[in-house]
Amino acid sequence: MSDSLLGLDEPPQPKQEAYRVLARKYRPQTFSELIGQDAMVTTLGNAIKRDRLAHAFLLTGVRGVGKTSTARLIAKALNCIGPDGHGRPTIDPCGVCEPCRAIAEGRHIDVIEMDAASHTGIDDIREIIEASRYSAVSARYKIYIIDEVHMLSKAAFNGLLKTLEEPPAHVKFLFATTEVNKVPVTVLSRCQRFDLRRIPAELLAGHFAHVAQAEGVEAEPDALALIARAAEGSARDGLSILDQAIAHAGLEGGGVRAEAVRAMLGLSDRGAIRALFGLLLAGDALGALAALRGQYDLGVDPQAVLRTLLETVHGVTLAKLGTDSGAGQSAEELKALQDWAAGLSFPALHRLWQLVLRGHDEVAKAALPIEACEMALLRVIHASQLPDPGELARQIASGSVTVTASAPAAAPSAPAEPAMPSSIAELAICLEASKRFQLAQQVRDYLRPVKFDGSEFEFGAARELPQDFLRELGAALREATGVNWRLKCVEDAGAPTMREQAVANEAAERNAVLASPVVAAAMHAFPDAELIGWNNLRSNQA
């Protein structure tokens, strides 16, 4: 058999390079490529220029904002020697010298990265402490990058403190963490801290557009805006979603489309949500439920529908304030938000927010999510047809809302001249006319009339009376009326005291108000609401 048949004369095939995900491929290699962290870059640049470098840096922030990437960039900036080999630390590392290339490739012997999640103990830190005594092999600084530093044990933190406070001049520590609250204050006080911000959605969308262009992939702006929103400020999360969206588009998909991204992420279509929101405001219960079921049949989670409705209410509120309601919105959506903002008051928007938010929380815990979502939407529709609480109060005060209630028992007016009292109410007024106010109050609060006939008065007591009460009451009545009274406290319960009657009458009036159609509807829409200021309202009506 010839060599040609065996393939021995064929040139060796080049080894195919493994695919690198976008989150790794487009990791920033210079500070200019680090998006959304301008304040930190400016501070670091000034510190490098003035040779005022801290010996330890702590980088904190949510996932994917660039903590580890920033640590590597700092390592490059401190160890860059420039293309000619004579450079000094710079905020703009050249990227071509051996230290820059070795650090970027993760192979520099003097830049040691450690994951604290898998190296939590004192033994791991002891190795760092021992090695830090020796000078760097080839770099200007020996740099230790410890990721997720909050996961170190207490003993490990304590072992690091002394070295961290007074490290050798050739050593720099770079810590990264997502949970800075778990880092001991003794460590925090020894570090220069940088809080990396969430990256704004508009910056992320622009960054993803550059990445898509570099990859030769066509992407709709709306699709990139959706990805940027879903990333929640994380560049890494956004690039991972973009990677998935490109794969989802396939070879014949014609690029990354907004509709495909919504389907991939399980997001509700914003156009459909705008239509649903309009149905809610119009009070169209059947249309709203049909629209919800349509979204549900497409696989959209009911909680996601309510979450998007919350975003819509928030967007309308911002539009009413005249502020930017967010990046990535189409002209159609912006116009809809402005139209709703013109027609809705702030109280109505706040009420909508509370109702939808309550529904969102209920659906999250419900055994029947879609049914709970339907009930939440029906509650919104019912409440949308009611006036806001302030308007309701104005209607009640103006009399445009009629409340049917039993009139309170009015106290008899004082007689022009002293006369024999014919009821316990007149007796109390008689005592007040004689300036025996304490006795009058005791009569109202404690006495339960059993028999009242002329100057004969039998009563029960709501509580134990003072020992000399009968004597004082008899003397006061004799002085006020000129007649000796026969007063007797009996064991019979008797009728309610005047105070008990007043409380019962007020409760009956309050219940009658709460049972009126308008107030009942308002209380149903706002289960946590309370009827307050009732005494003032009674005075105004009187």
Domain range list for the chain: 22-195, 201-265, 270-385, 404-515
Summarize pLDDT for 443-472 with one digit per residue, the tens: 888 888 888 888 888 888 888 888 888 888
- Interval 241-273: pLDDT, tens: 898 888 877 655 568 888 788 777 766 667 788
Q: What was the pLDDT predicted at 540?
A: 47
Place of tokens 């702006």: 221
Residue 352 to residues 267, 333, 387: CA-CA distances in angstroms? Answer: 21, 19, 12
Q: Could you tell me if 164 and 56 are in contact, meaning their C-beta atoms sit under 8 angstroms apart?
A: yes
Q: In whole numbers, what is the pLDDT of the chain averaged over residues?
A: 82
The pLDDT, as a whole number, for residue 415 is 43
Query: For the structural domain made of 22-195, what CATH number should be given?
Result: 3.40.50.300
pLDDT digits (tens, 9 = 90+) for 67-105: 888 999 999 999 999 888 888 888 889 889 999 999 988
Over residues 150-201, the pLDDT tens digits come to 999 999 999 888 888 888 889 999 999 988 999 999 999 989 999 988 888 8
Q: Provide the pLDDT for residue 174.
A: 93
* pLDDT of 373 strictly over 90: yes
Q: Answer whether residue 396 shows pLDDT above 70.
A: no
| Fold of the CATH domain 270-385 | Zinc Finger, Delta Prime; domain 3 (1.20.272)
pLDDT of residue 11: 57
Q: Strands 447-453 and 456-461: what pairing?
A: antiparallel
Is residue 521 predicted with pLDDT exceeding 80?
no
Min mean pLDDT across 31-40, 356-365, 412-421 is at: 412-421
**How far, in Å, are 140, 293, 307, 344, 374 from residue 287 at the CA level?**
70, 10, 19, 21, 12
Residue scoring higher pLDDT (516 or 347): 347
pLDDT of residue 408: 44
Rounded distance between C-alpha atoms, residue 215 and residue 213, angstroms: 5
- With cut-offs at 50, 70 and 90, classify the pLDDT of residue 413: very low
Mean pLDDT lowest among 325-334, 474-483, 503-512: 325-334
Encoded tokens for 205: 């969308």
pTM for this entry: 0.57
Question: Confidence band (pLDDT; 50, 70, 90) for 371?
Answer: very high
Query: Quick one: average pLDDT of 27-55?
Result: 87
- Residue 146: the pLDDT is 92
Of 43 and 269, more confident: 43
At 57, the pLDDT band (50, 70, 90 cuts) reads very high
% of the chain beyond a pLDDT of 90: 15
One fold for both 22-195 and 270-385?
Answer: no
- Lowest mean per-residue pLDDT among 172-181, 289-298, 326-335: 326-335
Domain 404-515 in CATH 3.40.50? The answer is: no
The CA-CA-CA angle for residues 128, 129, 131, to 5°, reads 65
Which spans in 366-423 are helix H? 369-384, 389-398
Task: Report the topology of domain 201-265.
Answer: Helicase, Ruva Protein; domain 3 (1.10.8)
105-135, pLDDT tens digit by residue?
A: 888 999 999 988 888 888 888 888 888 888 8
In the predicted structure, residue 426 carries a pLDDT above the cut 80: yes
